[in-house]
Amino acid sequence: MGALHAGHSSLINIAAQRCTEVVVSIFVNPLQFENPDDLAKYPRQIEKDIELAKQAGATNVWTPSLEEIYPNEPEIISAGKIGNTFEGVHRFGHFDGVLTVVNRLFNLVKPEVAIFGEKDFQQLFLIKKLVKDSNLPIEIIAAPTIREIDGLAMSSRNIRLTEAERIAAGIISKALTSAAKESSLELQRDVLLSLLASEKQFALDYAEIIDEESYEIADSSSVNTRAIVAGWINGVRLLDNMVMRSQANKVGTR
């Protein structure tokens, strides 16, 4: 959606290594904003974005108009049950809007490969599900989260944080990395929640450990687990996630 940064560059780099033609679409999708103020405040810097995308390896930068993407009233794609959990609880209809625009972009561009970052892990999960359920001939590649020097996950919204708020936001990566060192789901959850609660500037929406295969809350049968966190600092929404120790590695460890 624009306001590109090093995290986006990493996605473009991956695409350029795989493909001779790399299309970067820049479109601020109104369907995925439940708050009109958030849509209005979303940073737009199209000239800088085009330059960054080309430097990262894009052969085509496409900046479609609203009418090109939605020439008619769009048929909304439901994100289903999973789309109404976690992020979906706090951003009603967000993932319906994401899937609707991604499906539209897929239909227009017809890519062989599409790269999405792990930072928006629920989005990534739902896009993979969309491709599978719709039997689309597209390979979805998950790219690792790119972080600032202080550990904060890169986001277009980070520029709205003051210096003091950036320091406070560091509690998110600190909580995730500390939880990842623990040996059980119970300890991971305890450490995650207690550290996040220690930063008064951070207003928590949710913090949980999920099963990566189902996006359900992880339990003792889960093999691949991931902690997910979302919340606010002074009106700026921040989210992050991190792989936790696998169940196989937890046996006999502390």
Residues with a catalytic annotation lie at 8
DSSP state of 153: B
Total residues belonging to the chain: 254
Among 201, 200, 180, CA closest to 246: 180
Q: Name residue 139's beta-bridge partners.
A: 113
In DSSP notation, 186-243 reads HHHHHHHHHHHHT-TT-EEEEEEEEETTT-SBP-TT-SSEEEEEEEEETTEEEEEEEE
Strand residue runs (E) in 101-224: 113-117, 139-143, 203-211
Maximum pairwise Cα distance, the chain:
58
